[in-house]
Structure 1
Amino acid sequence: MGHPRILPAVLASAALALTGSAAALASPPPPPSDVLVNVASPPTPFSQNKQNEPAVAIDAHEPSVVVSGANDEIDEESCAAGDPTTCPFTDGVGVSGVYFSFTGGSSWTQPTYQGFTARSCIGPAACAPTTGPIGTLPKYAENGLVSDGDPAVAFGPRPGSDGSFSWGNGSRLYYANLTSNFPTSPAFKGFEAIAVSTTDNARAAAGGDASAWKAPVLISKQSSTTFSDKEQVWADNAASSRFFGNVYVCWASFVSNSRGNALPTPLVVARSSDGGATWTTKQVGPASDNGINQQADGCTIRTDSAGNVYVFGQGLRGGQQLQLMYRSTDGGAHWKGPQTVADRTSPGVTDPVLGRPTMDGIAGARVDLAAGPSVDIANGAPSGTDATDQIVMTWADGTDGLDNEKLLWTSSTDGGASWSPPKALDLPTGDRPVYTAPALSPDGKDLYVVDNAFTTPYRNDTSTVRGLVGQLWHANVVGGIPSGWTSLDRSAVGDPRGTSQNGLTAEFLGDYVYASATRDGVVGVWNDASHAEHCTAIDNYRASLYTSSPTAPPDVIGSCPSTFGNSDIRGGMWADPTTP
């Protein structure tokens, strides 16, 4: 298995000294200045008010243009439609929400298109979905597909008429997501596939012009048993790169889903060299998964200023959880690895009813074991000329046990050949990080880290208040070492009991948060429960599942506050605090 090589002694010693203690902050976190991102999603009813798993990307060529994606159930039927004790996803209705900002991330707009929708199905009678307004990606039902969330977004240069890439041609937005078959017109084999939508006109797309989007392109190779999952997209956006304009998507391919399992699980990377029109796929590393050795999952993909491609994921070797890295120097044609970056222990404990790890308490929000590390590279985009190519990885770690989780970071300044010892970003007392993501400024001078954290200990009941917060951090980077950590924003605390899976048995926050930086500042997005009201009837129902006499689920709309389930995406734009 082996362990990662460590940076030279001088750099490692400096890293030990500069752990970024929150206790050393010059002042307490400022009042919240974050804003709502999903501005058109309703606060009620459930599940139309459910949004989670945000992603964000800044156009390096025009940094005032920002896009965010999220799982957004704005077009689903209300729990009151038909049986009021069930809140199912509506067959054929998409959940890949998209939001635009033309103020650098300080304010947002959410477009409305036409498509297959059930948003008018608010009960009490059962209701059939129809064509009407949608707040999710367009052109899916028309092509036999359903947008199924797990959003991933990236901006790259637009190809010219000769096929070459230049920022002078403008920018292209790529939106990758899971997709399933439309009920009446299936388009592929298997259970879930990966699709990519593109637009060259963000302003038209933001204004509700569906024609600004090209039809989604299926990029995963599917068999009748394939479940593709956990994808991420990246466009090579540094003009100095040998492969400038290439687009890459990584994901885990669960290829044996027909037997009730998901083995083997190869990591797959698809690349496009023509702006997303056509794609080639490559399996990265072996496919075997026996519970002792598991391939990298929950991937992150990035490029440096020379066009080298890096894929990161969480896997097992000899039963030990590890952060793993693969690297390609030829534009994704061939890969080397995996290399171990760091040991990892997933946070949380296995919930006896859900069968999945949770952190905040019984019937709590899941903590995905396969949630991969988050990574960014200072690649100097859009030109690449001032790149440091430093790589930073962050993750939530449970090595010290329940209620002692840490936000860890590690860094490489030599193309991933060696990594600094993982260090903790000391969060405020009581914060227990669950999801985190770094963003390096393109010139490598600033490091930002966003996190969602629980603010309360693990609860063995559902009747006690729980806390969830989002926060954004900044550090200056000198000689590859971040120091002087300060909090740019700490959101209002919400109670995650007010969030919910559609099946009602537990909370739901998704699997990640996101950030993207410019030379002047950062845009961060996270999951928010500050406007979600917990429901005593749901609390009692969830608690009953841990007894020998579980009760039936309640009438959600009739028994719960109107804003039960109202999870949101919040975030915004913050300037580099050290810029004169």
Structure 2
Amino acid sequence: NGSRLYYANLTSSFAGTFLGFEAIGVSRTDDVAGAAASVKAAWSPPVLISRQSATTFSDKEQVWVDNAATSSFFGNVYVCWADFRSDSHGRAFPTPLKIAVSSDGGDTWTVHQVTPASDNGINTQPDGCTVRTDSHGVVYVFGVANRNGQTFEAMKRSFDGGKTWSGTLQLIAPVTNAGVFDPVLGRPVMDGVAGARNDLFDAPSVDIANGAPTGGDATNEIVLTYNDASLGLNHERALLQLSTNRGVTWSAPAAVQSAGDRPLYSAVAISPNGTDVYLVYNAFTAPYQTDTANPRPLVGVVKHADVSSGGALANWSELNRGASGDARGSSQNNLVGEFLGDYVYAAATRTYGAAVWNDARNGADCPAIDAWRLSLRIGTSVPRPAPGTDCPATFGNSDIFGGSYADPTP
């Protein structure tokens, strides 16, 4: 019955009509060409699927459609997100994982709370979620969560099209977040003082070889990547795990970054027929820096591996290593630190892979900003710069770069 493209995003309204911080909105289009040409009428008005209050912040959403015709739930749409319910900023910060399901093309949605709300720093609920489906219609949602003070990659599944979800959160592997706590940002950074936040450094990216669109050649192998700092600062790794039995068991974590790279965010994709894997990551290529005086090189890397008949990966190669840029040339809106977002992304077909990453090559460092940012950490008095007059014109000009890459071993 044709194709439909869905778009999920954080959304807010004008003052006086919106009670919460931000909500989750989902739009869709049956006219992809028109949407790509910026025809506004090609898109439906967004449907607000999250339930908001004055203290609710819906965040870190992802949308996925069951796109394998062999599935009994073919066409179902799933959106997952973290439902931050309090602005107290204390130890009691309830944040359940929510999943919304639509079975009528995005017209109506049913929202499920699939974890408890408790979040006390010792036990937290999955954040940075990823949702996928296999060729049988099993739904998988992944996130990073704490249990008894230890952080884990975690998973839940649904076998009935998202109506019910497995009870106990399956803990796949322990993971350690990276970086040094920045007291001004209130968040960890890994490139240096006043650096780019890396909250979701350890969040999962997942894909499944579900044989879309027919489902006929599915292997249903699951590929999972995340970043880990258990070896310590400046020794961060992009780890990858595989499952060939619906997530019941997993291969041991394997480091897949190139030598000299300190991965910041990573994402993975597997071709629908399960023969090729594509990996993208952002990485810093210099150690953590205790001042703002020197460049902080950032690169985007795309890699490829072949999948054997047994599901193992082999023949890793780099398809692209982007031009290096200085992360100091990026900025939060308030200027007090760098900003590189929270994600990279990858997708795969039977003949090529595609990827997007954060890129700093077109941004210029601003020494006045460097000095001011450092002063906020060490207590010296430096006037707040005016970027329009005190900085190069391209300060803050970070970008999203992307590319498509033919299968190197067809």
Give the aligned partner of residue 79 of structure 2: 249
Structure 2 gap segments, 5+ residues each: none
Q: Is 1:281 matched up with 2:99?
A: no
Give the aligned partner of residue 494 of structure 1: 325
Matching residue's letter, 2:330: T
Give the aligned partner of residue 447 of structure 1: 277
Partners of 1:541 and 1:432 in 2: CA distance: 26
Give the aligned partner of residue 11 of structure 2: 179
Q: Deviations over 1:78-99 (max 9, x none)?
A: xxxxxxxxxxxxxxxxxxxxxx
Give the aligned partner of residue 563 of structure 1: 394
Partners of 1:208 and 1:440 in 2: CA distance: 30
Partners of 2:201 and 2:362 in 1: CA distance: 28
In the TM superposition, 1:536-575 aligns within 5 A as: 536-575=367-406
Residue 426 of structure 1: how far off its partner (Å): 4.2
Matching residue's letter, 1:173: L
Give the aligned partner of residue 100 of structure 1: none
Secondary structure of residue in 1 paired with 2:121? coil
Q: Deviations over 1:510-554 (max 9, x none)?
A: 001000000001010000000100111111111111222242321
Give the aligned partner of residue 46 of structure 2: 216
CA contact (8 A) 1:247 1:273 kept: yes
Give the aligned partner of residue 194 of structure 1: 24
Give the aligned partner of residue 363 of structure 2: 532
CA contact (8 A) 1:357 1:369 kept: no
Partners of 2:381 and 2:26 in 1: CA distance: 42
Partners of 2:14 and 2:184 in 1: CA distance: 32
In the TM superposition, 1:180-579 aligns within 5 A as: 180-183=12-15, 186=17, 188-257=18-87, 259-261=88-90, 263-336=93-166, 337-369=168-200, 372-428=203-259, 430-478=260-308, 479-579=310-410
Residue 291 of structure 1: how far off its partner (Å): 1.1
Partners of 1:545 and 1:189 in 2: CA distance: 33
Distance 1:370 1:492, change over 3 A: closer
How many residues are aligned here? 407
CA contact (8 A) 2:257 2:263 kept: no
Query: Relative contact order (alpha carbons < 8 A, sep ≥ 6): 1 or 2 greater?
Result: 1
CA contact (8 A) 1:371 1:512 kept: no
Distance 1:384 1:350, change over 3 A: same
Partners of 2:383 and 2:100 in 1: CA distance: 45
Matching residue's letter, 1:554: P
Partners of 1:314 and 1:263 in 2: CA distance: 16
Secondary structure of residue in 2 paired with 1:294? coil
Partners of 2:19 and 2:257 in 1: CA distance: 47
Secondary structure of residue in 2 paired with 1:572? strand
Secondary structure of residue in 2 paired with 1:300? strand
Matching residue's letter, 1:242: S
Q: Deviations over 1:185-221 (max 9, x none)?
A: x1x4321110011111111122221111110110001
Residue 461 of structure 1: how far off its partner (Å): 0.9
Partners of 1:548 and 1:223 in 2: CA distance: 38
Residue 369 of structure 1: how far off its partner (Å): 4.8
Partners of 2:273 and 2:162 in 1: CA distance: 24
Give the aligned partner of residue 87 of structure 1: none
Matching residue's letter, 1:431: D
CA contact (8 A) 1:291 1:319 kept: yes
Partners of 1:192 and 1:519 in 2: CA distance: 37
Partners of 1:369 and 1:527 in 2: CA distance: 14
% identical aligned pairs: 59
Name whichever of 287-296 and 239-248 sits farther off.
287-296
Partners of 2:89 and 2:204 in 1: CA distance: 27
Secondary structure of residue in 1 paired with 2:372? helix
Secondary structure of residue in 2 paired with 1:205? helix
Give the aligned partner of residue 90 of structure 1: none
Partners of 1:444 and 1:293 in 2: CA distance: 35
Partners of 1:371 and 1:248 in 2: CA distance: 23
Partners of 2:22 and 2:120 in 1: CA distance: 22
Secondary structure of residue in 2 paired with 1:194? strand
